[in-house]
A = this chain, B = another copy of it.
Amino acid sequence: MIRPAFTKVLIANRGEIALRILRACKSMGLHTVVVYSQADRSASYVALADQALCIGPAPASQSYLDQTALVLAAKASGAGAIHPGFGFLSENADFAVRVEQAGLVFIGPTPDNIRDMGDKISAKRLMIEAGVPCVPGPNHALDFDYDKSCALAHEIGYPVIIKAAGGGGGKGMRIVTQEAGLRDALSLTREEARRAFGASDIYMEKYLAHPRHIEIQVLADGKGHALWLGSRDCSPQRRHQKMLEEAPAVAIAPEIISQIGARCVAACERLGYRGLGTFEFLMEDGAFFFIEMNTRLQVEHPVTEMVTGIDIVEQQIRVALGEPLALRQSDISQRGHAFECRINAEDPETFAPSPGVISAWHMPGGPGVRIDSHAFAGYRVPPHYDSMIAKLIVHGDTRDIALRRLALALDEMNIEGIKTNLPLHRAFVRDPQVIAGGVDIHYLESWLKEASWTKDQHHGS
C-alpha cells in the first residue's frame, strides 16, 4: 500500500505533549487540528492550532480515549493523520487499525509492532531472536508444574521475580529470595494476573538488586532502515514514575552502548519496525537486560534531542509521511549532556496531587535551557489528568556544566498557586550521589525515606 501524504495532523492528546506536537507540525509547515475535552478548553495550545474541536467532557474515557470521536474529528476537519502523543491511545493497536481503516495515517508504529511489543513474553522472545540481551529466564509463560518452575528458579539463581505477562508499571510482580517462598508467590501472582489483566500467564526472571534504568531511543522508517539515537538514564524513579532523566547514560563504555544500540537497530529491522521506539533495559554490573519496548514517543525524548540536535517528533512525522530516513547512523553525533526534570503539580513531601489555578509562573531561560509546557500564569491545572505540568530540559557541553545550569534553572523557576515538586528537584540535583552519577532505580525512594532533603531545603539558601 502506498501511504498517502498528508498536510494536516490531528493531535489526539493534551497538555505539554499536544503543544510539543503542534510546534513540530508548525515547523514543518503542516496544518494542525487540536482536539480538547471541556476541561481543557482554555489551554493555550488550543488557540495556536489552525483548527480546534471539543470532543467531549472532562473524563478521558469520554474524550481523549473516545476512538470514535477522534476518528470523526479527523474526518470532519480534513486531517490526514492522527498523532496519538503518549499515554491515552498511543499504544493501542486497535486504535491504530481503526485510524488506518478510516483512510488516515497513524503517526506511530504498525498495529502489529504495537501488539508484538505489548505482550511482554512475545516481546522477550522476539528480542532473544534478534540478539538483544534479556534478563535470564525463559521466553515463555510458566506452566502449572511446580517442580519445573522450582528447577528453573534454581537454574536462574535466586532472587528471582515472578511477573504477570500482561502487567507493567510495577503491578503484578513478586520477588522470591529463596525456594521456601516460591510456591506461594507463583499462585498469588497467577491469581493477581487473572484478576487484574484477565489472563493468568506469568513468567519468571532473574531479579536484579541494584540495576540502573538505561534506554535506547530508536527511529525506523519501516522501509528496512533504522537508527539508534543514543542512550538515556532514567533511573531516578518513584513508584515506577520517572522524575529525572539524562542523556547520555554515564559510566558505560562507548563500545558497550554501541553494541547494545546496534542490536536494537537489528531488532527493529528484523521486526519491520516503523517510527519511534524505546528499548528499555536494566543494567547491572555492566550487563544489559531488556525489559520492554515502548512503541511511542516518550516523555523524556527532549534529552536525546538536546544531545543529538535532532527534532525527534519531526523525524517521527517524516516517517509517517512515508519519507525514507535521510539520516544515517554516522550522522548521529552526541554533543554534551542533557537533563530533564518532570515538574508535577503535587505536594513535594506527601506527593498529594495539587490541581488548581497557577497564580505565578516564572520560567528560567538562557543558553541550554528549554521549557516544554502548556501552562502559564492564570492557567487552571485540571484535576482530571496526570500531574505533569512542565518539563525543564537543560543542556551543557559537559555533565558538570549541564548539572550546574540545571540547579540554577530550578532556582530561577517559580510557580505559585499550586504545589509543585520543584523543591524536591532542587534538593535532588544537589545530592552528591546524583552529582557523581549512576544511581540505581531504588536510589530516589531511599533518598526520600531519609527525608533530610526537606530540612536542607528549608534551612538552605
Contact = CB atoms under 8 A, between A and B. Distances in A.
Do most interface residues of chain A lie in helix, strand or loop, or is the interface mixed?
mixed
A366 interface: yes
The 8 tightest CB contacts between A and B, nearest first, are: A365-B371, A23-B366, A26-B408, A27-B401, A27-B404, A362-B376, A27-B405, A377-B377
A386 interface: no
Contacts of A408: 23, 26-27, 48
Given A27-B405, A363-B363, A366-B20, A311 B397 contact: yes
A404 B29 contact: yes
Residue of A19, A26, A305 most packed against chain B (CB within 10 A) = A26
A405 B365 contact: no
B365 A372 contact: yes
Contacts of A367: 20, 23-24, 302, 305, 311, 313, 370
A309 interface: yes
A445 interface: no
B372 A366 contact: yes
Contacts of A335: 309
A431 interface: no
A157 to B, nearest CB: 45
Contacts of A196: none
Copies of this chain per assembly: 2
A84 interface: no
Contacts of A26: 404-405, 407-408
A387 B24 CA distance: 32
A258 B48 CA distance: 41
8 contacts: A23-B408, A27-B405, A28-B404, A44-B362, A309-B397, A361-B377, A362-B376, A365-B372
A24 B311 CA distance: 26
Given A26-B405, A404-B27, A370 B377 contact: no
A302 B361 CA distance: 24
B361 A370 contact: no
Nearest to A305: B367
A336 interface: yes
A396 B360 CA distance: 30
A217 to B, nearest CB: 15
A369 B370 contact: yes
Nearest to A408: B26
A412 interface: yes
A373 interface: yes
Interface string A74-96: 00000000000000000000000
Given A305-B367, A335-B309, A401 B19 contact: no
A129 interface: no
B23 A405 contact: yes
Interface string A44-71: 1000100000000000000000000000
B48 A412 contact: yes
Interface in A371-395: 371-373, 376-378
B361 A365 contact: no
A365 B370 contact: yes
Contacts of A363: 363, 365, 371
A167 to B, nearest CB: 34
